[in-house]
Each structure stands twice: as structure tokens, then as C-alpha cells.
Amino acid sequence: MKSARALLLAASLCLAVAALVPVTASAQTYPAKPVTLICPFPPGGATDAIARIIQESMSQSLGQQVVIENIGGAGGMIAAAKAARAAPDGYTILIHQVALAAGVTMYNNLSFDAVKDFAPIGLINTAASTWAARPDLPPKDVKELIAWMKTPGQNIKVAHPGVGSFGHLAGVLVAQEIGVKVVQVPYRGAGPALNDLLAGQVDLSSQSAVQSAPLIKAGKLKAYAIIGRNKFAGLPDLPTMGQVGYKKLVIDFWHMLLAPTGTPQPIVDRLNAALRHAMADARVKKTFADGGMDPFPDAQMTPEAAATLLKSEIKLWGDVIRANNITAQ
């Protein structure tokens, strides 16, 4: 009887070890083929641009090509759903941004859970925005602007590139924190919104700092503050909204990499190392600096930091969306 029990125990141990072998082997040989990086928006946008900036350097680090697959639709939720359902083997990863956190509240009946169904790989970058205005708006600085916005009877038109976009949500949050009512004017993209701002058809808009800076310096736009954690080097005279007393407006447009939940930790670590390699690349650093984008500090490029940021952003934008009754269209 004793020998039978011993044999059963030995057999059980062998099965347990055998079950671990495929995972260990796959982690040791990873990657053995190209890695697909899903981008949740069409080519030409900010998220697609970030993916392409880090693509070459990550490919070099991994020893396999990183292939970008653009899957647009539903504010980035279609791509996120596909990535969440992918095999957790490290061969399908996702780049996403603020829209992922906002979509959790804005879209009903999502087929995935943004926290439970993803294993964050690491944070990539942030990018500041300007609180910009038509060139003939009367206020001279941000304090005058806030007073103007609070003047009874003002019909303030705020342009944005689409419901659920960072430009939309940032504009909503600014109005909410200042305590004013505005008319949100949606456009099909940042370009048309900017064109009408330049033409004076709308009053204000949250605009990418790097895109708006040349127009501001040329006097074609006005700008009153930076919507972001840090001042923008290209417009050093502009304060942040946080510096003028609006601490909830210390917000950034960010990007991160994610893998499906269940991806073995050694593979997540390998992908994180490839991301760090890209962010340390001189070419990548210069491209980011020229584009007014700030890489996350090395200490914050961990999977844990990415998970913490995603959870906090889901709460932040969930509160904003519920308070303002924003729904996906």
C-alpha cells in the first residue's frame, strides 16, 4: 500500500512538472515569430504615430518584427476587445491611451474588462495640450479668461474632435472645474475642429501643444494654459491649469502597452525590456522631444505603474462622464 501511494505521489509530481514545461519553454524561446501590435485607431493619428516611433527599436530588441495592425472603431473599443480575446502568448499586444479608460464607462455592454482582461506591459509617454482660443477672444491671460467664461450670458462654444476623445473629455472637465456651462461642438477629427477655431467659428478647444504652438507663436491662435502635469517647453510662458488653482486639471494624454491577461510573466517582462530599449533609443528620444511628448521616467515604466495609472484614469473619466451624462454615439 505504501509503495502504491509513493508511486501515485511521484506520478502526480511528474504531471505537475510536465504541465509547467510548455510555459517555461515558450518563455525561454520567446519570441519565435513576429509580434502583432494592435493600434486602436486608423493610420495618421497620434496613437498610430507612437506605435510607429517605437516599432523599429522594439523589433531590434526582440529579434523579431513588430507588425502594426490598425483596427479602428467605437473609440478604440473594437481593437481592445480583439486584443483581450487574443491568445495570451505574447504574440498579440495592444497600444492604447486615455480612450480605453473612458470607454469603460461610456460604452455599455463591453465584451471585456479593461482591468481584469489585460496585463499591462508598461507606460510609454504623455503629451500636453493647450487650452486654446480663437485669435480675437478678448481675455489676455488665463485669469481674465476664467472671469470671461463666468460672465452671465456667455454662449461659449468649445470644439472637440469627437465624443469620448481626449480633446472632448478635457474640455468637459475644464468647464466642470471652472463651474461654467459651455456648448460642446463635435467634429470628425482634430483637423476640422482646429480649422473652425482658427476661423473664429468656435471659441475654445483643447489642442495638442505641439500642433498648436506654431499657430500660437504666429498669432493665429491664442492660448491661455497647459492642460497637463508639466509646462510645455515650446510655450514656456503658459502656466498649467494646476498652477492657477485647478488641481483636477493636472491631466495628461498618455499611452501604454498591454497584453492579454494570462500572458506568462517572463514574456511580459521581455516585452517590458523591449519597450525600455525603445525608450532609451536616441532616435526615439529625439522624435519624442521634437513632437512635444514626454516619455515616462524609467522608474515608472513598470507593469505595476501602468496598472495603477489605468485604474486611476478609469475612475477619473468615469466620474466626468457620469457627471456630464456623456454617452457614446
Residue 308 CA to residue 306 CA, distance in Å, equals: 5
User: Which superfamily does CATH assign the domain made up of 129-249 to?
Assistant: Periplasmic binding protein-like II (3.40.190.10)
Q: CATH 3.40.190.150 spans which residues of the chain?
A: 34-126+252-323
If you write DSSP's letter for every residue of 251-305 in order, what string do you get? --EEEEEEEETT--HHHHHHHHHHHHHHHH-HHHHHHHHHTTEEEPPGGG-SHHH
Nearest to 42 by CA among 125, 162, 122: 162
Q: Which three cell numbers, joined as nine digits, stand for 204? A: 475654445
- For the entire predicted model, the pTM comes to 0.84
Instruction: Domain 34-126+252-323: state its class.
Output: alpha beta
pLDDT one digit per residue (tens) for the chain, 329 residues: 445 555 444 545 444 444 444 444 466 799 999 999 999 988 878 899 999 999 999 999 999 999 999 998 888 999 999 999 999 999 999 999 999 999 999 998 999 999 999 999 999 999 889 999 999 999 999 999 999 999 999 999 999 988 888 999 999 999 999 999 999 999 888 889 999 999 999 999 999 888 899 999 999 999 999 998 888 988 999 999 999 999 888 888 999 999 999 999 999 999 999 999 999 999 999 999 888 899 999 999 999 999 999 999 999 999 999 999 998 86
Q: Which three cell numbers, joined as nine digits, stand for 149? A: 467664461
